[in-house]
């Protein structure tokens, strides 16, 4: 894993560019250059760059869903040499560099470097980018939740989430949808007596009532409040078993029941 720095370099920041109804296109930038993650729509990216006097220099892609890739063609047409870095497989049009587990990505224009993590579950091609004390995790891990299983198995997603869970507690979690408030409702149904979850849900409600973003989260916070990272906890296992109507005897079975429960919630 890339240990280049525990923080972004001086002068580099990460901003959320809202897209569609609840997507965030994350933008790493300094005063002159920008790198964006999962541009499902080109227009808000171009508007952000124009407003802030930035030149778009690279694109990172976590998986093939259209709301994460739909802007690639238009962004590349404005800059034919634009590097577009994403999952291997040749199935995403516009990718110029395919990456796999453990590959290192050096974004010299913003003095950043990331390591690729393969995270199948939401889709089979899903990857994340980890470095500088943050993880750009697409639709695998949400604050208080996780992605639906469109292609992968529950066991694959559980393994991917456990992989993320092993990142340092202070890792900042940058997922790509504003789902936190709805996820809090489900998490409270699973663990109504979790005091840290109750407090966090109240904070999220206040943030959203003021139209504020709820991200990034942290791995430490997610391990305390996210039921999908807590399938090993007796309180979560008991709730999942009660919903399933049978005793669930391992963490993956608990996770599987939780995901089905959330799908119907």
Domain chopping of the chain, boundaries: 13-264
Res 6: pLDDT: 74
**Axis-axis angle for helices 251-264, 234-244 (nearest 10):** 60
Q: Which CATH superfamily includes the segment(s) 13-264?
A: Ribonuclease Z/Hydroxyacylglutathione hydrolase-like (3.60.15.10)
Res 30: pLDDT: 98
Query: Residue 68 in contact with residue 176, Cβ under 8 Å?
Result: yes
Closest CA to 3 of 126, 109, 140, 104: 104
Query: Residue 154 in contact with residue 262, Cβ under 8 Å?
Result: no
Res 103: pLDDT: 98
Query: Residue 28 in contact with residue 107, Cβ under 8 Å?
Result: yes
Cα end-to-end span (Å), the chain: 36
Res 120: pLDDT: 98
Beta bridge partners of 142: 145
Beta bridge partners of 34: 29, 56
Res 5: pLDDT: 57
Pairing type for strands 112-118 and 104-107 reads antiparallel
Query: Residue 127 in contact with residue 87, Cβ under 8 Å?
Result: yes
Beta bridge partners of 145: 142
- What pTM did the predictor assign? 0.96
Query: Residue 107 in contact with residue 31, Cβ under 8 Å?
Result: no
Q: Which residues in the chain land under pLDDT 50?
A: 1-4
Phi-psi region of 90 (alpha: psi -120 to 50; beta: other; left: phi over 0): left
Residue 131's alpha-carbon distances to 55, 82, 119, in angstroms, are 22, 22, 16
- Long-range CB pairs of 185-189 (<8 Å, 24+ gap) are 185/265, 186/144, 186/145, 186/227, 186/261, 186/262, 186/265, 187/144, 187/145, 187/225, 187/226, 187/227, 189/239, 189/265
């Amino acid at each position: 894993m890339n240990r280049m720095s525990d923080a972004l370099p001086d002068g580099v920041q990460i901003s959320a560019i809202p897209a569609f109804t609840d997507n965030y296109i994350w933008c790493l930038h300094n005063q002159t250059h920008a790198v964006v993650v999962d541009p499902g729509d080109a227009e808000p990216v171009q508007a952000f760059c124009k407003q802030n006097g930035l030149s778009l220099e690279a694109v990172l892609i976590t998986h093939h869903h259209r709301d994460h890739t739909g802007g690639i063609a238009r962004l590349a047409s404005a800059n034919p040499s634009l590097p577009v870095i994403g999952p291997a497989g040749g199935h995403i049009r516009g990718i110029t560099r395919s990456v796999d587990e453990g590959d290192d990505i050096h974004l010299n224009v913003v003095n950043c470097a990331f390591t690729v993590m393969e995270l199948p579950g939401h889709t089979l091609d899903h990857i994340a980018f980890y470095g500088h004390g943050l993880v750009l995790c697409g639709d695998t891990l949400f604050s208080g939740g996780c992605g639906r299983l469109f292609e992968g198995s529950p066991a694959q997603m559980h393994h991917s989430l456990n992989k993320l869970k092993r990142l340092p507690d202070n890792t900042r979690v940058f997922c790509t949808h504003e789902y936190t408030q709805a996820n809090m409702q489900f998490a409270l149904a699973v663990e109504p007596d979790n005091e840290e979850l109750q407090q966090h849900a109240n904070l999220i409600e206040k943030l959203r009532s003021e139209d504020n973003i709820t991200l990034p989260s942290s791995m430490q916070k997610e391990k305390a409040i996210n039921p999908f990272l807590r399938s090993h906890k007796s309180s979560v296992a008991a709730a999942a078993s009660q919903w399933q109507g049978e005793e669930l005897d391992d963490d993956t079975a608990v996770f599987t029941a939780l995901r089905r429960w959330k799908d119907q919630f």
